[in-house]
Amino acid sequence: MVEGKFSSLRGSCASNGGRAILANRIGGGNMRETDSINGTRVQAIIEGLDVVYTGLAAAQSAWKAEGPWGCPDGCGRCCVGFEPDVIESEALYLGAWMLYHQRERADAILERRFIPVGGEVGGDLGAEPDAATCVLFDPLSPYHCTVYGGRCLICRLFGYSGDRGKDGDARFKPCKFLPADESGATRRQYSGDELSAIFGAVPPVMSDIMAQALALTPDSAEERLPLREALPRAIAKIRMLQRFSGMPTDPETPEPNPSSPMPRAS
């Protein structure tokens, strides 16, 4: 499976805006991960977010090709002590990804028997020693993220996206964990003009990408929950839709638990 993508055929661009993406997706699914909920609004939301994620990956690839920074293999330090708060579309996306590729883990989460690495069974996604760290993070693996293909938006944004200053212009500050670069680039904050002049490119802006994701679920745009709370709800919703649809809920997949690729912050 291609890193960071669902197995889909995409005819839209993330720049179309969330509502346009959603309108184009309802009833027109072509992702294996959402086949079992075909024709539902949840399917359209998940596939709409996939378009946003794909557009983000393309923009970050263009930035990486020009910028001097890159995450060290096997780093994962940005994940330690951090658990993302997620919006509905992110939780649904990850839930669908896990139900298709890691069915047993998804069922364990729903049935309150999931055991995080170093944790104990039971509770909301298990009771783990470090309550501030994502329950899907594996400190013992060189890959760290155990759901890399379905990971949340902030996990994709961190390290290779910028923000906007008070003047509204894009800016970028490299991750503090990135190693020094031989080109002389530093970890200071760069303005959009500086980025264009020095590197000839500007990274995607976090708020712009988040706005596209929020537009997919405007009714719940203000609701954010810790991943450990949002994910079981999302899995339960998808399972319910699967039962109502009459589609098989245990799809055949050649790699039910695929290995995660070496982590990159995009």
Per residue in 105-130, pLDDT tens?
999 999 988 877 655 544 455 444 45
- Cβ-contact 78, 175 below 8 angstroms: yes
pLDDT in tens, 129-181: 456 788 899 888 888 899 999 999 999 998 899 999 999 999 998 888 776 65
Instruction: Give the range of the structural domain holding residue 44, as residue numbers without chain letter.
Output: 14-162+209-245
- CB-neighbour burial class of residue 211 (10 A; exposed 0-12, middle 13-18, buried 19+): middle
Q: Is the pTM of this model over 0.85?
A: no
The predicted structure's pLDDT at residue 27: 38
Per-residue pLDDT reduced to its tens digit, 6-23: 443 333 333 345 544 444
Q: Is residue 69 part of a domain?
A: yes
Whether 142 maps to a domain, the answer reads yes
Residue pair 116/128 in contact by the 8 Å Cβ criterion: yes
Q: Is residue 41 part of a domain?
A: yes
Q: How sure is the predictor about 263, in pLDDT bands with cuts at 50, 70 and 90?
A: very low
Tell me the per-residue pLDDT of 85-101, one tens digit each, with 9 for 90 and over: 999 999 999 999 999 99
CA–CA separation, 163 vs 209, rounded Å? 10
**DSSP letter at 146?**
T
Please tell me what DSSP assigns to residue 259. P
Residues near 208 by Cβ (< 8 Å), separated by ≥ 6? none
Question: How many domains are there within the chain?
Answer: 1
∠ CA 249-117-46, nearest 5°, is 35
Residue 203 lies in a domain: no
Position 169 in a domain = no
Cβ proximity of 2 and 54 under 8 Å: no
Assess if residue 93 is contained within a domain: yes
Decide if 83 is inside a domain: yes
Would residue 1 count as lying in a domain? Answer: no
